[in-house]
């Protein structure tokens, strides 16, 4: 059964995502605040069945208690490594390879520890909700992990079906593309994507979701083995390239 994914802007630059099935039932991913999510649920006459959290940071789960008060039957879902560190009860703890039923669809879980120890991605039909592990044209900070761990995560993600739509947790697209051109200035597809993203952003259009096929051509964190990118950065391995890119993006050296 088909589902749709609706991006909802929250806080300064966060996205919550509403998964809708049957035009009646919904699950929300990473509600940083409740108000914008409740507004969409009310406008569309939807019942909230689940609150799916990719990790414990407040800008991704801060709206959970209020949403649960409005929909007390909604399950709160999270990885156990993060579930014990939030100030609200988690109804269902999930890990690598688990599957959750949602209106005749399966939501599968990938455990991607690094940004936090309990970071996960949720996949349903052609959508992949990556939280703060993978952004459009970028990746998240390694707060609780190492470059080696993130490299393993990125290698897993880049080998998924290219038709998957990447639904990330923040709107950093234009900023990330601008940084990417510093490392990969001769990438014509990247330059074209940056120009298009700037126009779309100026017009108030959403820049997400983005197909994995486009990320594979323009997101340097998914192109760590690209010979030209390695030459540009003076690196000799995927791990060295990841560390060099991290320095460009975050001005710091991650643990290896």
Average pLDDT, the chain: 96
pLDDT tens digits, 143-188:
999 999 999 999 999 999 999 999 999 999 999 999 999 999 999 9
Residue 23 above 90 pLDDT?
no
Residue 103 above 90 pLDDT?
no
For position 120, what pLDDT does the model report?
Answer: 98
Give the integer Cα–Cα distance in Å for 217 and 211. 10
Distances (CA, A) of 6 to 26, 29, 37, 40, 137: 10, 10, 10, 9, 20
Give the integer Cα–Cα distance in Å for 254 and 243. 7
- Percentage of the chain lying above the pLDDT 90 cut: 97
Give the integer Cα–Cα distance in Å for 206 and 178. 18
pLDDT tens digits, 26-41:
999 999 999 999 999 9
Domains in the chain: boundaries: 4-250
Interacting residues of 51 by C-beta distance below 8 A, sequence separation 6+: 27, 28, 31, 64, 67, 68, 74, 75, 76, 77
Pick 4-250's CATH classification: 3.60.15.10, 2.60.40.1220, 1.10.287.40, 3.40.50.300. 3.60.15.10
Give the integer Cα–Cα distance in Å for 236 and 253. 17
Beta carbons of 8 and 18 less than 8 angstroms apart: yes
9: its two tokens: 């802007």
pLDDT, mean of residues 46-67:
98
Give the integer Cα–Cα distance in Å for 154 and 194. 22
For position 22, what pLDDT does the model report?
Answer: 82
Under DSSP, is residue 196 helix (H, G, I), strand (E, B) or coil?
Answer: helix
Q: With cut-offs at 50, 70 and 90, classify the pLDDT of residue 104.
A: confident
Place of tokens 């599957």: 99
pLDDT, mean of residues 229-242:
97
Residue 70 above 80 pLDDT?
yes
For position 2, what pLDDT does the model report?
Answer: 82
Query: In this structure, are strands 92-93 and 99-102 parallel, antiparallel, or unpaired?
Result: unpaired
Residue 49 above 80 pLDDT?
yes
- Percentage of the chain lying above the pLDDT 70 cut: 100
Interacting residues of 182 by C-beta distance below 8 A, sequence separation 6+: 248
Q: With cut-offs at 50, 70 and 90, classify the pLDDT of residue 1.
A: low
Distances (CA, A) of 77 to 74, 120, 138, 158: 9, 11, 26, 25
Give the integer Cα–Cα distance in Å for 104 and 90. 23
């Amino acid at each position: 059964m088909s589902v749709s994914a609706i991006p909802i802007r929250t806080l300064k630059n966060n996205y919550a995502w509403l998964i809708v099935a049957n035009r009646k039932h919904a699950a929300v991913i990473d509600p940083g605040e409740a108000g914008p999510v409740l507004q969409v649920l009310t406008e569309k006459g939807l019942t909230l069945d689940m609150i799916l959290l990719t990790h414990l940071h407040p800008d991704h789960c801060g709206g959970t208690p209020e949403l649960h008060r409005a929909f007390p039957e909604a399950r709160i879902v999270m990885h156990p490594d993060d579930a014990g560190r939030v100030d609200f009860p988690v109804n269902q703890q999930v890990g690598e390879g688990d599957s959750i039923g949602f209106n005749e669809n399966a939501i599968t879980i990938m455990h991607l520890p690094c940004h936090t120890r309990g970071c996960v991605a949720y996949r349903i039909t052609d959508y992949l909700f990556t939280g703060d592990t993978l952004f459009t044209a970028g990746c998240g900070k390694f707060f609780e992990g190492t470059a080696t761990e993130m490299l393993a995560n990125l290698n897993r993600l880049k080998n998924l079906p290219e038709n998957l739509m990447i639904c990330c947790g923040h709107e950093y697209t234009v900023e990330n593309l601008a940084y990417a051109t510093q490392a990969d200035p001769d990438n014509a597809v990247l330059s074209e994507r940056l120009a298009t993203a700037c126009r779309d952003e100026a017009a108030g259009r959403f820049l997400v979701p983005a197909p994995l096929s486009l990320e594979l051509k323009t997101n340097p964190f998914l192109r760590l083995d690209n010979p030209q990118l390695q030459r540009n950065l003076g690196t000799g391995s995927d791990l060295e390239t990841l560390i060099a890119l991290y320095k460009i993006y975050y001005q710091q050296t991650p643990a290896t």
